[in-house]
C-alpha cells in the first residue's frame, strides 16, 4: 500500500539521516490518500473484492489522517480511535487487479472528536478507467498513548465558510444523539446455535441463516494501545453478514451498504470475539442483517461478556453476470422477529427516501450548473 499526501503551503520535512536524498514531506495534515492493488486474497470465489477489505482500508486511511492531525499540536502523543462509522455506501463492485485509491479528509472537528470523509475510487490499470466505489464518514477520538482512557483535545481545522462549519456541527449533533439511543438497546443477548445439528431445518427462517464467528484477538489485530483496530472488527462483521446472506439466498452476494457502526466499548488484546449476524428484514432485492460483536477476556472470564460493537449491513443477491436477483421472503416466527422486521422495514424505507432525495438534489444541482451562463471573454 502506498501513501500520498496532497500539497500545502507550509510543508514540514523529515530527512532520513541514513540517506539525505530521501525526504518525507508532511504537508496538509487533514488530507491523505492510500493506494493498493486488489489481489486474489481480497476477493470471493467470483472475483468481487470483499466489502470487509474495503471497510478495513477505509478505517486505516481514517486512522492515519486523524492520528497525524491530532499530533500536530504540542503535548501528549496520541492515537486516533474509531468510535463510529456513518452509513457506508458500496456504489460499484471492485474486482481483482483493480487499484483502489482511498482518499480521506477531515471535514469537522469538535473539542474531543473529528469527522473524516472517505472516498474509494477503483482504477482499471489496463484502460485507466475510474469509478467511485465507496463513500463513508467516520468519527474518531484521540486517546493518549500514556493513558488510553484519557481523551485529548483535537486541533481545530480551518473551514472554507461558516456554512461548512454549521453543517459539520449538525452532523456531529445527529451522530451523538443516535449513539446515545443505540447504547440504550445494545445489551440484548443474541441466542447462539453452538452445534450444526441444532440449526433449524426449515430454510429462509431467521434461525436457519443466523451465523457466528469466533475470533481470538492477537497482536496483529491491535493498535499501539493493544486494543483492536476498528477495521479488523468491521472486516469480521462483514464476513459474518455475508455468511448469513449466502445461507438465506444460496447465491453470490455482495455488500450494498452499512448503516452506522457504533463502537460501544474497547476490545483488548487477548479477548475472544463472538461476531453474530441475523436477518431482520428482506425486501424484493435486498437483505438487512443485524450484526453484534461481543467480547470476553480469555484469562479473566469472571468479568463476563459485553457488547462491543453493533451495526446493520445490507446485502444484495447477484447472478453470474452480477445482475441483482430477487430475494426469497423471510419467514418470521414470533412477536420478537415480527418487531425486528417492522423496524427493519422502516429503516429500509428511510434509506430509500434518502437515496431518492440525494438523486433529486444531484439532478437539480446539475441543472443549475448547466443554466449558469459562461463568462464572456
368 tagged catalytic: no
CA distance 278 to 179: 21
CA distance 143 to 150: 6
Q: What does each C-alpha distance from 364 to 161, 163, 357 come to in angstroms?
A: 22, 20, 10
Q: What does each C-alpha distance from 139 to 85, 102, 109, 171 come to in angstroms?
A: 6, 17, 10, 11
Contact 87, 257 (CB under 8 A): yes
322 tagged catalytic: no
CB atoms within 10 A of CB 318: 19
Contact 259, 193 (CB under 8 A): no
Q: 28, 42, 221, 238: which is the annotated catalytic residue?
A: 238
CA distance 292 to 213: 11
Grid coordinates of 246: 449466502
CB atoms within 10 A of CB 197: 6
- How many residues are recorded in the chain? 377
Give the residue carrying C-alpha cell 481514517: 62
Helix axes 230-249, 51-70, angle to 10 degrees: 160
Residue 54 neighbours by CB under 8 Å, 6+ apart: 90, 94, 100, 120, 133, 134
Angle at 78 between CA 76 and CA 81, to 5 degrees: 150
CA distance 147 to 125: 45
Q: Number of helices and strands (H, E) in the chain?
A: 5, 15
Tell me the catalytic residues: 44, 238
Amino acid at each position: 500500500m502506498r501513501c500520498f499526501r496532497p500539497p500545502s503551503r507550509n510543508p514540514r520535512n523529515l530527512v532520513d539521516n541514513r540517506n539525505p536524498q530521501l525526504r518525507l514531506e508532511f504537508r496538509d495534515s487533514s488530507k491523505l490518500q492510500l493506494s493498493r492493488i486488489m489481489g486474489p486474497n481480497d476477493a470471493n470465489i467470483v472475483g468481487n473484492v470483499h466489502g470487509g477489505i474495503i471497510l478495513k482500508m477505509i478505517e486505516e486511511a481514517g486512522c492515519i489522517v486523524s492520528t497525524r492531525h491530532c499530533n500536530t499540536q504540542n503535548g501528549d502523543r496520541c492515537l486516533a480511535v474509531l468510535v463510529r462509522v456513518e452509513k457506508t455506501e458500496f456504489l460499484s463492485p471492485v474486482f481483482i487487479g483493480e487499484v483502489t485509491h482511498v482518499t480521506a479528509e477531515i471535514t469537522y472537528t469538535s473539542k474531543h472528536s473529528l469527522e473524516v470523509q472517505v472516498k474509494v475510487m477503483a482504477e482499471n490499470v489496463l484502460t485507466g478507467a475510474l469509478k467511485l466505489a465507496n463513500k463513508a464518514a467516520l468519527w474518531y477520538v484521540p486517546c493518549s498513548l500514556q493513558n488510553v482512557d484519557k481523551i485529548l483535545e483535537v486541533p481545530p481545522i480551518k473551514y472554507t465558510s461558516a456554512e461548512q462549519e454549521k453543517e459539520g456541527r449538525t452532523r456531529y449533533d445527529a451522530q451523538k444523539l443516535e449513539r446515545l439511543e443505540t447504547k440504550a438497546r445494545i445489551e440484548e443477548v443474541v441466542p447462539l446455535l453452538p452445534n450444526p445439528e441444532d440449526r433449524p431445518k426449515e430454510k429462509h427462517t431467521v434461525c436457519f441463516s443466523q451465523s457466528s464467528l469466533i475470533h481470538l484477538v492477537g497482536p496483529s489485530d491491535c493498535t499501539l494501545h493493544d486494543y483492536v483496530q476498528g477495521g479488523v472488527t468491521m472486516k469480521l462483521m462483514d464476513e459474518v453478514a455475508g455468511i448469513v446472506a449466502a445461507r438465506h439466498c444460496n447465491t453470490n452476494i455482495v455488500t450494498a451498504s452499512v448503516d452506522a457502526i457504533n463502537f460501544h466499548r474497547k476490545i483488548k488484546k487477548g479477548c475472544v470475539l463472538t461476531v453474530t449476524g441475523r436477518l431482520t428484514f428482506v425486501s424484493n432485492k435486498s437483505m438487512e442483517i443485524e450484526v453484534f460483536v461481543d467480547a470476553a477476556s480469555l484469562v479473566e472470564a469472571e468479568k463476563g461478556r459485553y457488547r462491543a460493537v453493533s451495526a446493520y449491513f445490507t446485502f444484495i443477491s447477484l447472478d453470474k453476470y452480477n445482475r441483482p436477483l430477487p430475494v426469497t421472503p423471510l419467514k418470521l416466527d414470533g412477536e420478537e422477529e415480527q418487531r425486528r422486521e417492522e423496524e427493519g422495514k422502516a429503516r429500509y424505507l428511510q434509506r430509500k427516501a434518502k437515496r431518492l432525495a440525494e438523486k433529486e438534489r444531484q439532478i437539480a444541482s446539475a441543472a443549475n450548473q448547466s443554466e449558469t451562463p459562461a463568462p464572456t471573454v
